[in-house]
Amino acid sequence: MLFVTFASTNENKNREVEKILSSHGISVDFVWTSPVEIQSESLEEIAREKAKSAFAQIGKPVIVEDDGLFVDALKGFPGQYSSHAFKTIGNAGIIKLLVGSADRNASFRSLIAFYDGKHLSISEGRVDGKISDNVTEGGWGYDPIFVPSGTSLTFAQLKEKKNEYSHRKKALDDFARLYSKE
């Protein structure tokens, strides 16, 4: 069995990462750590630096995840600032920003960055969808307001079926394919 260390402070992400990677025969060791998260216009640059920082902190090959919700009508906001936007205005704030907008299209991007001290790789997953008209029950993060294409339910309402659409699952599936070949 393959092993990988996942560095994060997000228990919800850890549960998703463990579940998805275990289906590929990869065991996950979760390390609670706060890698340095630089400010950048590039989600890729943030993920790269976060992986290097996590490796420096724990001293072994590691994956980190960075993601963003990109809302078309808001010119991609909150994008790479999704975590800060969630902490400050939350789901209700995103919905409020879209009041009166006919364009509710959005996408979720997830980047899994792997770093072993020498090689760095990034796997990406993306799902298109829209922002719901209201905040639904359950889920975490932006799950209660993001409706992936192909369904009329938010990620929160999809519950266990979320991974049928998940940006994070797509990125982790891609990572698992690459990691299994090494």
Render pLDDT for 63-100 as a digit per residue (tens, 0 to 9).
Answer: 999 999 999 999 999 999 999 999 999 999 999 999 99
Q: Mean pLDDT over all residues of the chain? A: 94
User: Average of pLDDT values for 163-171?
Assistant: 94
**What tokens appear for 140 in the block?**
């975490």
Instruction: Indicate whether 105 pLDDT > 90.
Output: yes
Active site residues: 66
- List own/partner pairs for 14-17 with CB under 8 A and 24 or more apart: 16/163, 16/166, 16/168, 16/169, 17/63, 17/65, 17/168, 17/172
User: Structural domain boundaries of the chain?
Assistant: 2-181
H or E element that contains 29:
strand 26-32
* Contact present, 169 and 163 (Cβ < 8 Å): yes
The whole-number pLDDT of residue 118 equals: 95
User: The domain 2-181: what is its CATH number?
Assistant: 3.90.950.10
| Mean pLDDT, range 108-130, rounded to an integer | 97
Per-residue confidence (pLDDT) for residue 53, from 0 to 100: 96
Percent of the chain with pLDDT over 90: 87
Give the pLDDT score at 5.
Answer: 96
pLDDT digits (tens, 9 = 90+) for 41-62: 899 999 999 999 999 999 999 9
**Which residues are within 8 A (CB) of 26 and not within 5 positions of it... i.e. 6 or more apart?**
1, 2, 3, 4, 176, 179, 180
Rounded Cα–Cα distance for residues 114 and 48 (Å): 8
Q: What is the pTM of this model?
A: 0.92
pLDDT band at 182 (very low <50, low <70, confident <90, very high): low
